[in-house]
A and B are shown apart, each in its own frame.
Chain A
């Protein structure tokens, strides 16, 4: 029993390592396409963490939506955009912005880190339901029905808007 526990813990740390590697690749990559691959790697690690948090369904959704859809959309955007050799050299900003970025990151880390350490997290006294897909589906169709419909409308509007905007851009060039 404990052997499997340690194995699961090893996979957990592997997922965290994957996220760190993906983040590093996406920041340091010379070409944007490599940065997207880094993002996909980090999202894969995130899917593993979702699995560890008791939701295999969301891990699958992470693979389908975030890696399968968002990364592919960004990759298409790169393919029809500028040529890699044109923008590779100036992809990352000068030293001035590096300090600015570090300061912004440090400020957020200190603020949220202090909150994280200082807050006494207390679990709920009683739990209802479980992590099953049945329970999630019932909640989506009854308690969160409005949110579910709203996100459908937002997605439809975004797709139509994206099509119209891309078309306007093409017409203006002609």
Chain B
């Protein structure tokens, strides 16, 4: 009997849930930090997909792990940059609400 943890589809469904939840949460949140948290969910959904394909389908098991490590590194770089941008926006506008940052809006 094949257990759910031995099936590719369960992991892909979890990856899909993380992506969809990230998109939903990014639209719902109205602070920059909430949107950053949502983007982390999306990145983790991508990581889980890479690892699932790596475990069940890929010819070389190292490839998916390398991709996941790169995604983690990119996520860390993105978080550092966005937090510094949020700090700058907060110092300038005294708010982290995306609706209030609209100087370039036509």
Partner of A158, one of B70, B77, B86, B88: B77
Q: Which chain A residues lie closer than 8 Å to B75 at the CB level?
A: 65-66, 70
The bracket for how many chain B residues form the interface is 35 or more
Known: A53-B54, A81-B33, A121-B8. A65 touches B76 (CB 8 A): yes
- Docked CA distance A69–B56 (Å): 30
CB closest chain-A residue, reference B63:
A139
- Docked CA distance A128–B25 (Å): 40
Known: A12-B5, A55-B65, A58-B51. A109 touches B44 (CB 8 A): no
Q: Is there an interface contact between B74 and A135, defined as CB atoms closer than 8 Å?
A: no
Q: How far is the CB of A82 from chain B (nearest CB, A)?
A: 6
Q: Which chain A residues lie closer than 8 Å to B28 at the CB level?
A: 27, 92-93, 97-98, 101
Interface of B is mostly: helix
Known: A124-B58, A129-B60, A135-B61. A151 touches B52 (CB 8 A): no
Number of A interface residues, CB 8 Å? 92
* Contact sample, A vs B, 26 pairs, CB 8 Å cutoff: A5-B3, A23-B17, A23-B25, A23-B41, A26-B25, A27-B28, A42-B41, A53-B51, A65-B76, A73-B76, A73-B83, A74-B33, A74-B79, A97-B28, A100-B27, A105-B20, A108-B19, A108-B23, A109-B20, A126-B59, A136-B62, A136-B66, A165-B85, A165-B87, A166-B87, A169-B89
Q: Is there an interface contact between A90 and B72, defined as CB atoms closer than 8 Å?
A: no
Q: Is there an interface contact between A101 and B24, defined as CB atoms closer than 8 Å?
A: yes
B: residues with CB less than 8 A from A are 3-5, 8-9, 11-14, 16-21, 23-31, 33-34, 36-37, 40-41, 44, 47-48, 51-52, 54-63, 65-66, 68-70, 72-81, 83-92, 94-97
Known: A158-B80, A166-B87. A104 touches B23 (CB 8 A): yes
